[in-house]
Amino acid sequence: MYRKWPLAGLLCLLYFSGDLHASEERLATYQPRFEREQPVVVVLAQNQMTELTDFVVPLGVLRRAGVARVLAVATEPGTVQLMPALSVRAEASITEFQRAFPQGADYLIVPAVHDSREPRLLNFIRQQAALGARIIGICDGVLPLAHAGLLHGRRATGHWYSRDQRLDDFPDTLWQENQRYVVDGQLMTTAGVSAALPASLALVEAIAGTSKASALAQVLGTSDWSPQHDSEVFTLGSQGYLTAAGNYLARWRHETFAVTLLPGIDEVSLALRVDAWARTFRTQVLGVAPQPVFSASGLEFIPQRTDSGGLPQLPGGAVSAAQTFDEALAAIASRYGAATQRLVAAQLEYQQNEQARQHVEMFKP
């Protein structure tokens, strides 16, 4: 069941060097192995807690592209609790995947997880790397890669909030700033949450070419998946922590929203919208459906409630995937104020654009 996150727990979600030209940050073109018609891509989850956008967006984008066999794999069978909201059911456990694919995956995508040192998780990452898989750490999915020993002397990046931790714990990694993703040989790592979408398009490009990635990007509402990014503008500062604490402690102002899970729902836009709203420290988001629901890409969502019970519906959802954060942040500013909007944007490592400000009027009560 969903439970409210304590302040310290929600702040932990945040956890989850020279510059190079954009043209240098490209994944190598996919080379078929083992006579496979398509590459095998594993999106890995830890059952206890796995970051929502980091997990759902790559899976949804790659399945929509139709250029790979994409599997949702968890450390153990059953339900995966996503953070900061929603739950899904993994299609296979690590053990089941290893039995079915002894040659390993072609790509392993690792999101930010609750326990970056879990032995079963680290052993699987090491095994897949040894079998020749390209390893992709989304956001602070870079931390399990580092703990698995894959980043010695390698270039990498992660969520801006974990910068000091990464520098202290892994001083022999060449940590890069101001890039949405960094490629070093068989490894790719990304900046914070919002980097999941451009990184996924970069992977589509590596597998199927630029034309395929461009066509899919247009469907998603963007034309840019470059590594260009300004991570140094993000900070919480004292005001951010005060806003988080004030929102969390003012329980009488908390709200719970329902998000109706319909068969065939667009899981990419869903993940982006829910992730933004659930980071306000005032908002709880519950997935509602009479039974488990399969999304457009075939990911099984497990509802927290069978009916809304009179709960208001989560605002938004009428824009393309790439515009979802702008829409959500505009609505959050209108409902909770600019300080909360900035708090959420910093957690998402997302720079709001002019379009977001134009959306504010749409969401005024």
Over residues 350-364, the pLDDT tens digits come to: 987 655 445 444 443
Mean pLDDT of 269-278: 97
Give the pLDDT of residue 354: 55
Average pLDDT on 49-70 reads 98
CA dihedral 12, 13, 19, 25 (to 10 degrees): 140
For the segment 88-128, what is each residue's pLDDT rounded down to a tens digit? 999 999 999 999 999 999 999 999 999 999 999 999 999 99
Q: How much is the pLDDT for 364?
A: 39
Residue 70 C-beta-side C-alpha neighbours within 13 Å:
23
Q: What is the pLDDT of residue 21?
A: 38
Residue 1 has pLDDT above 70, yes or no: no
Domain range annotation of the chain:
7-230, 233-363
pLDDT of residue 9: 45
Q: Cβ(348)–Cβ(276) under 8 Å?
A: yes
Residues 6 or more apart from 43 whose CB is under 8 A from it?
A: 55, 58, 59, 62, 70, 71, 72, 73, 109, 111
Residue ranges with strand state E in 8-85: 40-45, 50-51, 69-74, 79-83
Task: End-to-end CA distance of the chain: give it in Å, rounded.
Answer: 31
Among 9-18, 294-303, 322-331, 342-351, the range scoring the smallest mean pLDDT is 9-18
Residue (of 251, 301, 261) closest to 281 by Cα position: 251
Cα 161 from Cα 15, distance rounded (Å): 6
CA dihedral 330, 317, 110, 120 (to 10 degrees): 110
pLDDT of 22 over the 90 cut? no
Above 50 in pLDDT, residue 7?
no
pLDDT value at residue 352: 79
The 10s digit of each residue's pLDDT in 138-147 is 999 999 999 9
Please give the Cα distance from 126 to 9 (Å, whole number): 28
Q: Who wins on pLDDT, 4 or 297?
A: 297
**Is the domain 7-230 a CATH 3.40.50.620 member?**
no
Is residue 195 predicted with pLDDT exceeding 50?
yes
pLDDT at 26: 87
Query: What pLDDT shows up at residue 12?
Result: 43
Average pLDDT, the chain: 91
Q: 25 vs 239, which has greater pLDDT?
A: 239
